[in-house]
Amino acid sequence: MADDTAAPTPETPEESAEATAARTAKRARLLRILAIAIVSIAAIWGIWYFLTQAGRVSTDNAYVGADSATVTALVAGPVKDVRVSGTQVVKKGDILVILDDADQRIAVADAEAALRQARQRYGQASATADAARSRVAARAADIAQARARLRDADAAVAKARAELARRESIAGTGAVSAEELTTARTALASAIAARDLAAAGISSAEATRGSASGDLGAAEAVVRGTTIDTAPDVAAAQARLEKAKLDLARTVIRAPVDGVVTNKQVQVGQRIAAGAPIMVIVPVATAYVDANFKESQFRRIRIGQPVELTSDYYGGDVVYRGKVIGIAGGTGAAFALIPAQNATGNWVKVVQRLPVRIAIDPRDLKAHPLRVGLSMEATIDTRGN
């Protein structure tokens, strides 16, 4: 039986060389295409990097921060009511905690009574000054009367002296008796005594007026240059009343800012002291980012440059827009409680990081709120400088 399988025809040297040349040419074409593809990809990547990445510095050592508001009790007292819970969103002015205000209400009533008493004392002092002024005027009238009496006494003395002289001049003729002469002398002595009494009355009236003037000065010193509202005692009592009312108002503790309640440390029935922190409100709507860039990246970082930020909280699809608003005055190590001691023989240089404060666009924060402490990735575009 004959074998149907045909034996392969051996290749000639010429055919083998042509096949090798064809394979070599094909390989060369493939290598050229691969080289062109690599160069094209490198060029595209270079153009993309130059257009989008050149001049950009990034770090993943960045964290969300906010100027949190610590809520403290400004007056002491037992807690009557707690209106919020942890993680609750509050608005500025919302009531957080109410303290028992019995002591403060009593203090307000006491201050009101003290104010009324101070006003009453001022009225009494004003009335005393008016009375002293009237007494001074009355003493002036007494002096005028005493002087008038002195003038009358002087006239009486002059008349009695003239009568005595007239009688003495005719006593030798026998026309005047000894009794009449004695009576005239007595009348002169009485007139002189009355004049001396009138003079003493003037001195007494003047002394009384001096005493009344002193009382008037003392009374006017209390009310001089003031009104019932500006008198020192009244003003002090009014200030105490305002302080008591302020303490009463402070028994209602309100939110100082918009934000989220955290770290709540107050319960109903607890007695808190003035100045004791009771909770923290984090204003997430005004959060910022502190990004710690390496010192070698600061060659072109400037305030005002735009920043792109992403967070693991939302993933890379959510990009926040921001702006550099400040650069710290020193590294974290420089302000550490125990700074690094580099003056040693085994010192090894470590690249330091400097915090950069980044403000986030409020619209992005409103659309995707962040929480304090979240990690971020920040990329600063320095091409503008």
Higher pLDDT, 188 or 298: 298
Task: Give the DSSP letter of residue 101.
Answer: -
Residues 117 and 92 placed together within one structural domain of the fold: no
- Residue 321: partners with Cβ closer than 8 Å, 6 or more residues away: 306, 307, 308, 309, 360, 361, 364
Quickly state the pLDDT bin for 55 (edges 50, 70, 90): low
Residue 291 lies in a domain: no
Residue 298 lies in a domain: no
CA atoms within 13 A on the CB side of 107: 17
Residues 208 and 264 placed together within one structural domain of the fold: no
Closest CA to 283 of 186, 173, 369: 369
* Amino acid 62: pLDDT: 94
Residues 109 and 206 placed together within one structural domain of the fold: yes
Residues 82 and 180 placed together within one structural domain of the fold: no
pTM across the whole model: 0.62
Q: What are the beta bridge partners of residue 320?
A: 309
Residues 110 and 236 placed together within one structural domain of the fold: yes
Residue 354 lies in a domain: no
Residues 119 and 217 placed together within one structural domain of the fold: yes
Residues 224 and 109 placed together within one structural domain of the fold: yes
pLDDT digits (tens, 9 = 90+) for 192-227: 787 777 777 777 766 777 666 666 666 656 666 677
Provide the mean pLDDT of the chain: 81
DSSP symbols for 241-262:
HHHHHHHHHTTEEE-SSSEEEE
Residue 203 lies in a domain: yes
What CATH number did the domain enclosing 262 receive? 2.40.50.100
* Amino acid 112: pLDDT: 94
DSSP symbols for 297-319:
GTTS--TT-EEEEEETTTEEEEE
Residue 287 lies in a domain: no
Residues 153 and 208 placed together within one structural domain of the fold: yes
pLDDT digits (tens, 9 = 90+) for 85-112: 988 999 999 999 999 999 999 999 999 9
What CATH number did the domain enclosing 163 receive? 1.10.287
Which of 245, 260, 293 finishes a domain?
245
Query: How many domains would you assign to the chain?
Result: 2
Residues 160 and 212 placed together within one structural domain of the fold: yes
Residue 187 lies in a domain: yes
Residues 88 and 193 placed together within one structural domain of the fold: no
Domain limits for position 215: 104-245
With vertex at residue 145, the alpha carbon angle to CA 144 and CA 149, rounded to the nearest 5 degrees, is 120
Burial 291-329 (b: 16+ CB within 10 A, else e): bbbeeebeeebeeebebebbbeeeeeeeebebebeeeee
Residues 193 and 80 placed together within one structural domain of the fold: no
Query: Which of the residue ranges 88-92, 162-166, 327-331 would you say has the lowest mean pLDDT?
Result: 162-166
Residue 75 lies in a domain: yes
Residue 324 lies in a domain: no
| Mean pLDDT value of segment 359-375 | 92
Residues 129 and 202 placed together within one structural domain of the fold: yes
* Amino acid 1: pLDDT: 43
Which of 207, 223, 245 finishes a domain?
245
